[in-house]
A and B are shown apart, each in its own frame.
Chain A
Amino acid sequence: MSWRRKHLIDVDDWEREDFELLLEQTSNMDSILDRSIKKAPALRGKIVVNIFYEPSTRTRTSFEIAGKLLSADVINWTASGSSAAKGESLRDTIWTLEAMGADAVVIRHGEVGVPYYLAEKLKKASVINGGDGTHAHPTQALLDLYTAWRELGSLDGKKVAIVGDILHSRVARSDIYAFKAVGAEVYLSGPSTLMPTDINSLNAMYEPNIAEAIEGADIVYMLRIQRERQDAGLFPSLDEYHRRYGLTDKLLGKAKKGALVMHPGPINRGVEIASSVADGPQSFVLKQVRAGVAVRMALLYLMLGGVKE
C-alpha cells in the first residue's frame, strides 16, 4: 500500500482508487475505535499542528482525537482571525511552524485557497485542509463517504440529494466530487439564489423542487442554512425557507425507504431539518461524527507514513 500524496487540500484531483484505499484504511481505524484501549503507536514522535482561523470545535477536536489515538503530538495553535493584517501574520505563522518541525498542519480558514498558499510556502510539512472558505472541506467529504459506504456498501448508481445553500457550501463542493468519483449520482436542490451561476460546472443535476430532487434517493444530505443569507437578500425568511426546503418526515417519505439522512452539523433545528427527522431512526448525524475521527486517523496515518514498529 502506498500513498503518493503529500498534502490533502482538495479531493478534486483524487481518483476512484484513492477513495477506495482511504475507505479501506478508515475501516481499519474504525475497528480501533471499538477497542477498550484505543491508542495505537503508529505516529509516535510526529507533530501535528491544528491552526483554526475559524472557530470549529467539532472539526478541531476530531483531528485532535485522531492524532492522539495514533500517538502523535497534537498542538492547537490559537489563531485570531480578526486582525486586518491576517495574511501577513499567516505568512509569519507558516515560517514559525516550519522552524518548529511540524510534520502536518491542519488548517481551517475562512478564505478560499489558503491551504494552497500554505502548501506552497511550507517546505517540509504536509498540509491538511480543514475547510477553506466556500471552497473545499475534503475531510468532511471523506467522512460522509465512509458513513454512506459503511451502511450501503458500493455507492455505484446510488442517488444522493444535497439540499440547501450550495453556493456558500464547501461541504457540498467536496461531497459532490467524492460521491461522483465512487459512482453515485448527485442531485442538488435549493433556491436558485443559493446556487452558483455556472452550476453546470459542478457536474451534478440541479432540481429546484426538493420533492423531486429527493425522490427515490438513497442519501438525503441537508446543508446548514445561515441566517446571514437571509440578511443578504438571498431568500425572504427562514420560515419560508423551512416550508419550501426543510426536511420533514413527510418529505423524507419521498426518498427511498430507509434512506440515510446526513448533515455536516451543527444542525439548525426547524430550519433545514425538522427535529423529528434529525432525531429519527434515519438520521446518521452521530455516525458521521464517529466516522470523522476514523477518517482523520486514516489520513494522518497514510500521509505521515506510519512508523513501522
Chain B
Amino acid sequence: MKWLVNGRLFDGELLREGLCDLVIDKGRVAKIAPAGRFVPPEAATKIDLDGRIIAPGFIDLHAHLRDPGQEWREDIVSGSRAAAAGGFTTVVAMPNTDPPIDRSSLVRYVLERGQSAGAARVLPAGSVTKGRRGQELAEMWFMANEGAAIFTDDGLPVSTAHLLRTALLYADDLGMAIMEHPEELSLTKDAQVNDGPCAARSGLKGAPKSAELIAVERGIALAKDTGAHLHLTHLSAEESLEAVRRAKEDGINITCDVTPHHLTLDESLIEKSGYNSAYKVNPPLRSERDLEALWEGLADGTVDAIATDHAPYHLDEKDLPFQEAASGIASLECAVAVVFDAWLKRGKPFGIERLLRLFTAGPASVLRKSDLGRIEEGSVADITALDIGRERRVEAKRWESKARITPWEGSALCGWPVMTMREGKVIWVDGDGGLHAERD
C-alpha cells in the first residue's frame, strides 16, 4: 500500500485545484482526497510529491523495441525499462520485427517478455498483413484475443487502398484501430531528407510533403467510407494536419499523433550539423513552418497524441555518414522532457492539461482503453510523476535503451518525469530528482 501526498493531480482531463493525497492499494487508486484530509493505514509507504504533478501513466503509442530478431538494437526488456525511465508506463511495441509480430504466438511472446521486465507495460501492435508483406490480412482476431493493442504495418503504409479498406472494416468489428504510416512510396524512393532547402543545397533525394498528404487523404477517404477508426501516425507536414482537421470537422473517425522530434527539430539542422546522421529520420524533419503547424495541431485538438517513434539502432548502424546511416531517432528516455521543455520555452502556448492529455487520455482513446490514461478512485494505479521545474542534461550513455545516439545529446532540458508507477509498483525513480521513493 502506498500513500502519495502533496501532488498536483491531473486526472486525465483536468488539473485539480490544490494538492491531493492518493492511497494506492492492490494496484489501484483506492482513495483521492485533498492533501492532509485523512490518515492512511500505518502500513502504507509514504511518497511526498511536494507539489509535483501526479498524472495518469504516460502512454507511448509508437516505439520500436526490435524484439524478436534485432536485439542488438533494443529488446523488450531494455525497451520497457527505457520507457519507464522516460516517464511512460505503457509502450506500444511496433511489429516490424524479425519475424514481424503477425500472429498470436508472437503477440504472447511480446507480452510475456514485457511482464518479465517489471518495468513499463509493453503492448504489442500486430501487423495488418501476414509477414508485413502487404498481401493478405494477418489473423487480427487471434492477435486481438491474445492482447494486441492496435494493428499496423508501420515502417510501411498498408500496401493498397483495397487492403487498408478491408483491414479497417475487419479491425472495426474487433473494436480496434488501424495505425497507418502515411507515405506514398513511389514519391519517396531513396529519399533522405525533406524535399526543401536541404535537398536543394545537398542534392540529397527529397521526400515531398505530398507523399505524406496523398497517404493521409487515402486514409481519410477510407475511414469515411467505412466509418472505421483510422489512426495516422507521425504526421509531419502542415498539409497533413490541415487534412485531418477538416476530416475531424466532417465527423470522420480519424485520430493522429506527432513525434517529439517533428515538434522540435527542423530540416535546417541537417546542414547546420554537417549532415549528422542523428537527424536522419523518416518521415524527414520538415520546415519550420511545418513544425509550427504541428504545434497549432496540438493547440486546437487536431492531434490526439504525442508518440515517440523511438527507433533505436546500434552505433555501428547509426554512427555513419548521413547517406548510409540508418533512419530513425531514439528518444524514449528524453521525449517527455523534449516536449515539456519546448512547451515551456514557447511560453506555454496552451494549457498544461492539453499537453498532459496528449500523453495520457489521448493515446488511451486511440487504443480504446478506458482503463488507462485517467486517475480516479478504482482506476489502475499507473502514475507518472512530473517535475516541470527539473532541469537535466540528456546523456544517452546512461540510458536503459541500447541506443547511444540522439539529436538532443548534451541538451539541458526542463520538465522531466521523476517517477513512474505501474499498477501500484514504482518501476522507476529519478535518483537525483529529489523525490524520496524506492523502486519496488
A interface list, Cβ under 8 A from B: 9, 12, 86-88, 90-91, 109, 111-114, 116-117, 119-120, 133-135, 167-170, 173, 196-202
Contacts and interface: CB of A to CB of B under 8 A. Distances in A.
B203 interface: yes
Contact of B196 (A111, A134, A198): A198
Contacts of A198: 195-197, 199-200, 206
Contacts of B325: 87
Nearest to A116: B274
Interface residues of B, number: 23
A133 B199 CA distance: 12
B304 to A, nearest CB: 31
Contact of A87 (B204, B206, B321): B321
22 contacts: A9-B274, A87-B325, A91-B320, A112-B202, A114-B321, A114-B323, A116-B274, A116-B276, A117-B274, A117-B321, A119-B274, A133-B202, A135-B201, A135-B202, A135-B204, A167-B203, A196-B201, A196-B203, A197-B195, A198-B197, A201-B200, A202-B200
Nearest to B195: A197
Given A9-B274, A111-B324, A198-B199, 18 more contacts: A87-B320, A87-B325, A88-B316, A90-B321, A91-B319, A111-B323, A112-B275, A112-B323, A113-B321, A116-B275, A120-B274, A133-B323, A167-B203, A196-B206, A198-B195, A199-B200, A201-B200, A201-B201
B323 A196 contact: no
Contact of B202 (A9, A91, A109, A134): A134
Contact of A197 (B206, B275, B320, B323): B206
In the A-B complex, the 7 residue pairs with the closest CB atoms: A134-B203, A113-B275, A116-B274, A196-B200, A201-B197, A87-B320, A111-B323
A169 B208 CA distance: 20
Contacts of A88: 316, 320
Nearest to A84: B324
B176 to A, nearest CB: 38
A196 B199 contact: yes
B322 interface: yes
A92 to B, nearest CB: 11
Contacts of B196: 197-198, 201
B203 A87 contact: no
Contacts of A120: 274
Contacts of B324: 86-87, 111
Interface string B227-247: 000000000000000000000
Contact of A113 (B195, B200, B274): B274
A105 to B, nearest CB: 14
Contacts of A91: 319-320
